Amino acid sequence: MNKKRHNLFGLTIGEMTALFESWGEKPFRAKQILSWIYEKKITEFSGMTNLPKSLRESLPERVEIRGLPSYQKHESVDGSIKYVFQLEGNQEIEAVYMPMEKGVTLCLSSQVGCAQACSFCLTAQMGFIRNLTPAEIIGQVYAIQQDKQFQSPFNIVMMGMGEPLLNLQNLIKAIELFTSEPGFGLSPKRITVSTSGHVRNLLRLGETPKLPRIAISLNATTDQLRNELMPVNLHWNIQELIEACKKLPIPPRDRITFEYVLIKDVNDTPADAKRLIRLLANIRCKVNLIPFNETEGLDYRQPEVAVIEQFRDRLNRSQIRNTVRWSKGRDVGAACGQLATPVSKAGPGIRNGA
């Protein structure tokens, strides 16, 4: 019977160092291998020329470097690409490549499915299946970077499938690899973690030494409406969430982002805008106004452009920083709230080299 080999992909430098030390190997080998994997994009031990020949030959018997095995691509007319990754057990996750004015942004998933049951999000209709491993989180970046051949720095938003804060331990390990050298070498300011409002884990994330930027999916200004749209509000109401945001150690020049999906005749009235202004009056923040992305299977609709502009103008008059964020990739089901949307014309399957 073949012994299952340990996967080095997704291990932090501390975990890999401990593994090598347990074999009696020199601990700095871990740093060398991490550099080969994430900086030079070499995943065959035979190509790691600064390792002793004996080690290069013995490692394949004990370990492997295995990223996400394969994916399909669905390209949008706006240049964004939805990647559908096939996981073990016939499960799938999705990630989005978005070319922006200031560089590349990658929207990543943290779970297969989602347990949050937000009524305006198609991913929530899947229910929760499982958490992703650190290897599966960073594997999305590794595969897309190899496919599109872009270099650091780039931006990461944890806004894909799942609630990142319900996979906190693996999320923190992934952030360590995204920000470490050797690793992807990103500034924590280039990573945004979006949450539906899990207060306990939000405060735990605030204790991490490499704090990413925080985005709060708010979407309502009364508990009654937020309870309907986002059942997480039944556990932590709006006031508890706002108080937790005030406790986060946000750097002086940074701001918390509040995401507000504008839904026609649901949360887009002048009264909603006034309540939002009052809620955020004493928080250093900015607001992303996201016009609802209409999707088959969800009954909500996008407000008229004039209504969106009036909502934005009210925030402007109150000097609350805001942006109307028109989502990319709507034609291939890659926009905010659309991940897990079936795509009628599947792109070709592609093997991933990691």
pLDDT tens profile 169-178: 999 999 999 9
Chain-centroid distance of CA 333 in Å reads 17
Residues ≥6 apart with Cβ < 8 Å to 352? 67, 68, 69, 70, 71, 139, 142, 143, 146
Collapsed DSSP state (helix, strand, coil) of residue 94: strand
Report the pLDDT value the prediction gives residue 343, as an integer from 0 to 100: 35
Residues identified as active-site: 94, 336
Report the pLDDT value the prediction gives residue 222, as an integer from 0 to 100: 98
Report the pLDDT value the prediction gives residue 142, as an integer from 0 to 100: 94
Percent share of the chain, pLDDT over 90? 78
Report the pLDDT value the prediction gives residue 102, as an integer from 0 to 100: 82
pLDDT tens, 7-20? Answer: 999 999 999 999 99
Give dist(CA 202, CA 164) in Å, integer: 10
Report the pLDDT value the prediction gives residue 347, as an integer from 0 to 100: 39
Global pTM reads 0.91
* Domains of the chain listed by start with CATH number: 6-64 (1.10.150.530), 70-350 (3.20.20.70)
List of the chain residues with pLDDT < 70: 1-3, 334-335, 338-354
Copy the structure tokens of residue 186: 């990103």
In one-letter notation, the amino acid at residue 84 is: V
